[in-house]
């Protein structure tokens, strides 16, 4: 795990184990060990941030949330549900290697997340590569950029 970059999130503690050449980390949301990929590194940090700093109850978080687009099954990385079990926040995580310094990359990831959200209909949309985070609120006119993560609890 030492080769993974420091992210723009507080440090977290992960339960890890080795499986041959792969590192597995415990996913508190799904209650299983998952392969630690660069994108999973970002997701684990985001989930802990949503719980610890945005007041999202752990039981309200769904990972790999199914979304059907044009009859094709897709999956949103993280969805936080509200007290009525309706989607409140949809998040798309990318690895740090996805260059959020380039506007066209941010636009492409935003478009992916907003396509998912056209089906999911969450109030908040978030995209992150672990280094940069972009939060939006859905409005009648489209999406409004937020200056901070929303409170979710």
CATH, residue 27:
3.90.1570
Quick check: is 153 in a domain? no
Quick check: is 128 in a domain? yes
Mean pLDDT for 129-135 is: 97
Quick check: is 22 in a domain? yes
For residue range 80-93, what is the model confidence (pLDDT) as tens digits? 999 999 999 999 99
Give yes or no for residue 102 having a pLDDT over 60.
yes
pTM recorded for the entire structure: 0.94
Contact predicate 77/34, CB 8 Å: no
Quick check: is 5 in a domain? no
For residue range 29-49, what is the model confidence (pLDDT) as tens digits? 999 999 999 999 999 999 999
Contact predicate 8/14, CB 8 Å: no
For residue range 5-20, what is the model confidence (pLDDT) as tens digits? 999 999 999 999 988 8
Would you state the pLDDT for residue 105? Answer: 93
How many domains does the chain contain in total? 1
Give yes or no for residue 63 having a pLDDT over 90.
yes
116 Cβ contact partners less than 8 Å away, ≥ 6 residues apart: 67, 69, 74, 76, 90, 92
Quick check: is 41 in a domain? yes
Percent over 70 (pLDDT), the chain: 99
Structure tokens at 112: 């992916």
Would you state the pLDDT for residue 3? Answer: 80
Domain that residue 54 falls in: 16-146
Quick check: is 88 in a domain? yes
Quick check: is 2 in a domain? no
Would you state the pLDDT for residue 135? Answer: 98
Mean pLDDT for 106-134 is: 96
One-character DSSP codes across 1-68: -TTSPPPSS------EEEETTEEEEEETTTTEEEE--HHHHHHHHHHHHHHHHS---GGGEEEEEEEE
For residue range 133-143, what is the model confidence (pLDDT) as tens digits? 999 999 999 99
Give yes or no for residue 2 having a pLDDT over 90.
no
Q: Sorting pLDDT into bands at 50, 70 and 90, what band is 1?
A: low
């Amino acid at each position: 795990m030492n080769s993974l970059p420091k992210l723009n999130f507080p440090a977290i503690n992960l339960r890890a184990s080795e499986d041959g050449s792969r590192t597995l980390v415990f996913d508190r949301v799904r209650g299983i060990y998952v392969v630690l990929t660069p994108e999973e590194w970002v997701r684990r940090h985001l989930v802990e941030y949503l719980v610890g700093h945005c007041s999202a109850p752990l039981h309200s978080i769904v990972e790999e949330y199914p979304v059907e687009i044009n009859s094709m099954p897709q999956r949103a990385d993280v969805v936080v549900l509200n007290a009525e079990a309706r989607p409140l926040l949809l998040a798309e995580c990318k690895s740090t290697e996805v260059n959020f310094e380039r506007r066209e990359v941010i636009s492409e990831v935003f478009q992916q997340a907003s396509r998912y959200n056209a089906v999911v209909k969450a109030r908040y949309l978030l995209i992150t590569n672990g280094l940069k985070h972009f939060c939006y609120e859905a409005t009648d006119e489209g999406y409004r950029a937020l200056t901070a993560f929303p409170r979710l609890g």
